[in-house]
Amino acid sequence: MQHPFIIAIDGPAAAGKGTLARRLAAHFDFAYLDTGGLYRAVALSLLLDGKDPDDGDAAMAAAADLDTRLLDAPRLRDEATGAAASKVAAIPQVRSNLLEFQRNFASHPPGGKQGAVLDGRDIGTKICPEAPLKLYVTASAEERARRRTAELRDRGLRPDYADILSDVKARDARDMGRNDAPLRPADDAHLLDTTDLDIDAVFFRAVELVKEKLPPQ
């Protein structure tokens, strides 16, 4: 089999990475991995045990022995879990414990698929630097906070926009400021600023970019 075709999608919180990644995976029949879910699962396991997300030893242990059942836990998508995830994600040993799983998914996509879409913060720079297509999806912090607020409302929660905005900004600062695999666009990434673009517009642009890079059948 040819090498799987990898689409690497990175960007800050609530930029629309997951929505785009899921749609591209369905369109091209590729496998999809939400790598943020792995960091969220590590963080949630600490929160459920009443531990502090800054507790490095506990975070390393949870990452070394990831409880994959937590990937389906209702609290995985909570803002508190996202905030805790960005704390455990700054610990180098946590990152290295999750590296192999992600690389293995990319090199052997489940279901024998011909390609894989991975979204996160360091896919283009660290996990799959050889990916033929890298997208850096972003939007203003205000627009991202608006989207996340609407999403939480749709889940029946009562989020406060100002709280979400400050959470988004704090997470950006932690993710961009850490020493190990900080969030930044890879040198060869395509930047997609989605502040004024709806989901369809982003998807159609990305499909064009994929088609330019896909090897001829």
Q: Is 85 in the site for ligand CDP (CB under 6 A)?
A: yes
CA torsion, ordered 79, 82, 88, 91, to nearest 10 deg: -130
Q: Which residues contact 9 (CB under 8 A, 6 or more apart)?
A: 17, 20, 21, 117, 118, 119, 120, 123, 134, 135, 137
Please provide residue 10's backbone torsions phi and psi, each rounded to the nearest 5 degrees.
Answer: -125, 165
**Cβ distance to ligand CDP smaller for residue 92 or 110:** 92
Site for ligand CDP in 145-204 (CB under 6 A): 147, 151, 171, 175, 194, 197-199, 202
Q: Which residue has the tokens 């022995």?
A: 65
Q: Is 120 in the site for ligand CDP (CB under 6 A)?
A: yes
Q: Is 122 in the site for ligand CDP (CB under 6 A)?
A: yes
CB of 106 closer than 8 Å to CB of 6: yes
Q: Quick one: which of 6, 15, 41, 91 contacts ligand CDP (CB under 6 A)? A: 15
Q: Quick one: which of 53, 82, 109, 115 contacts ligand CDP (CB under 6 A)? A: 82
Q: Is 24 in the site for ligand CDP (CB under 6 A)?
A: no
Q: Is 18 in the site for ligand CDP (CB under 6 A)?
A: yes
State the binding site for ATP: 11-19
